[in-house]
Amino acid sequence: MKNVQSLGALMEERGVSRRAFLKYASYVASLMALPPAAAAAMAEGLAKARRQSVIWLSFQECTGCTESITRAHSPTLENLIFDFISLDYQEVLMAACGEAADAARHAAMADNKGKYIVVVEGSVPTKDGGIYSAIGGVSNLQMLQETVENAFAVVAVGSCASFGGIPKANPNPTGAVAISDLIGGKPLINISGCPPIPEAIVGSLSYILSFGKLPELDHLGRPKAFFGETIHDRCYRRPFYERGLFADSFDDDGARQGWCLYKVGCKGPVTYNACATLKWNGGVSFPIQSGHGCLGCSEPNFWDGGGFYRPLPTPLGATGTVLAGAAVAGAALGLGASHLARKHQKNYLAAPKSEED
């Protein structure tokens, strides 16, 4: 499926003007906190780009990431991504199946050698030769290696693909690993989350299409535009944290007052994602707004973090004492607790690495 026409020409054939590109680019630039002036350059880049061939591989996963991208918040805009890319292989969405589907994958690889993007959803089992997950007799490991060989870039969508996720959780019976462990030096974006925020997927793909390069990434390979701040940084309950006002259980007065959920296990202070700003279900809410702490689903090894309801450890080993003290002492000590949380963040994030070592 060679895509020789520019997107501008393709859209023109459908009677869609360049204004659609500008509107879309304005939306994506806003999502990615790019300067408003970048929208014009982005729109021009999109209009000149060829329709991008995308091969979407699904391995050890639950299809929640596919569900996420197909449940767009702004459908008239976000669905334009499906006009801008040629989704040449996606087992859930494509009409073809079996050998015909696989033929489509091979055709896309041959026609777009060196130019196609591989999106991967799910981790890959490596134990016992990777026999624990296979499609048409081809192991996930084989399919990944074969498909990424001539890809332009790889996008790991969701925490399973980005960091191993639930399949990799202890005791990891299938030897599941993240995509980054298997693709050598191929350019890679990790868009973590369980599931990831659809705007992060759409925005990252659009950036590649427009500018022909990957967006700026953090140390875990995630786009900084969406993973540059913690949930805690942008949480609307943060003022309660600063004042030392916490819920001690899910049905106490603090919970009813909507106070900070730090003491009931919220992982917001160590979790980088955009849930607190972009939210879910059309911007209606996100877990903390619905009364539950953040699980930290966009961070590595979140499943093995020691319990969703266990408070983050403090350097003093006495979260309850420190935080109760903060509640009594009010704002001043609350700010002290905030400083401690920054230090916890480093310790918490360092812990999984030392386990792996």
Partner 1 sequence: MTSSCANSLAPELPAHKKTGMAEPVLREIHARLESFAATGQTGAIDLAGMPLTRADREALEAFLGRGEVSATLDVAGRSEIWETAYSGVWWVRHWGGDAVASELIEITAIPEILKTDRTDAAGAVKRLALTLQQRDRGSNGDGA
- Interacting residue ranges for partner 1, rule: CB under 8 A: 8, 12, 16-20, 22-24, 26-27, 29-31, 33, 36-37, 40, 47, 72-78, 80, 236-237, 240, 255-259, 282-285, 289-291
Considering the complex, state which of residue 258 and residue 313 has its C-beta at the smaller distance from partner 1.
258
DSSP state of 189: E
- Residue 290 near residue 250, CB atoms below 8 Å: no
Considering the complex, state which of residue 6 and residue 150 has its C-beta at the smaller distance from partner 1.
6
Q: Find the shortest distance in angstroms from Cβ 224 to partner 1.
A: 15
Considering the complex, state which of residue 73 and residue 106 has its C-beta at the smaller distance from partner 1.
73
Considering the complex, state which of residue 73 and residue 115 has its C-beta at the smaller distance from partner 1.
73
Q: Find the shortest distance in angstroms from Cβ 342 to partner 1.
A: 21
Q: Which residue has the tokens 């624990």?
A: 132
Considering the complex, state which of residue 23 and residue 186 has its C-beta at the smaller distance from partner 1.
23
Q: Find the shortest distance in angstroms from Cβ 76 to partner 1.
A: 3
Tallying the residues shown for the chain, one arrives at: 357
Residue ranges of alpha helices (H) inside the chain are 7-13, 18-31, 38-48, 64-70, 75-78, 81-84, 98-111, 140-148, 159-163, 165-168, 198-211, 224-227, 238-242, 253-256, 275-278, 319-329, 331-356
Question: At 93, phi and psi to the nearest 5?
Answer: -95, -20
Question: At 221, phi and psi to the nearest 5?
Answer: 80, 20
Considering the complex, state which of residue 15 and residue 114 has its C-beta at the smaller distance from partner 1.
15
Considering the complex, state which of residue 19 and residue 219 has its C-beta at the smaller distance from partner 1.
19
Q: How far is CA 124 from the centre of its chain?
A: 17
Q: Find the shortest distance in angstroms from Cβ 72 to partner 1.
A: 8
* 3-state class (DSSP) for residue 85: strand
Q: Find the shortest distance in angstroms from Cβ 23 to partner 1.
A: 5
Question: At 181, phi and psi to the nearest 5?
Answer: -80, -10
* 3-state class (DSSP) for residue 268: helix
Considering the complex, state which of residue 198 and residue 221 has its C-beta at the smaller distance from partner 1.
198
Q: Find the shortest distance in angstroms from Cβ 7 to partner 1.
A: 12
Q: Find the shortest distance in angstroms from Cβ 22 to partner 1.
A: 5
- Residue 270 near residue 312, CB atoms below 8 Å: yes
Alpha-carbon torsion (293, 236, 189, 76), positive or negative: positive
> What's the CA gap between 173 and 125, in Å, rounded?
9
> What's the CA gap between 77 and 206, in Å, rounded?
12
Q: Find the shortest distance in angstroms from Cβ 163 to partner 1.
A: 29
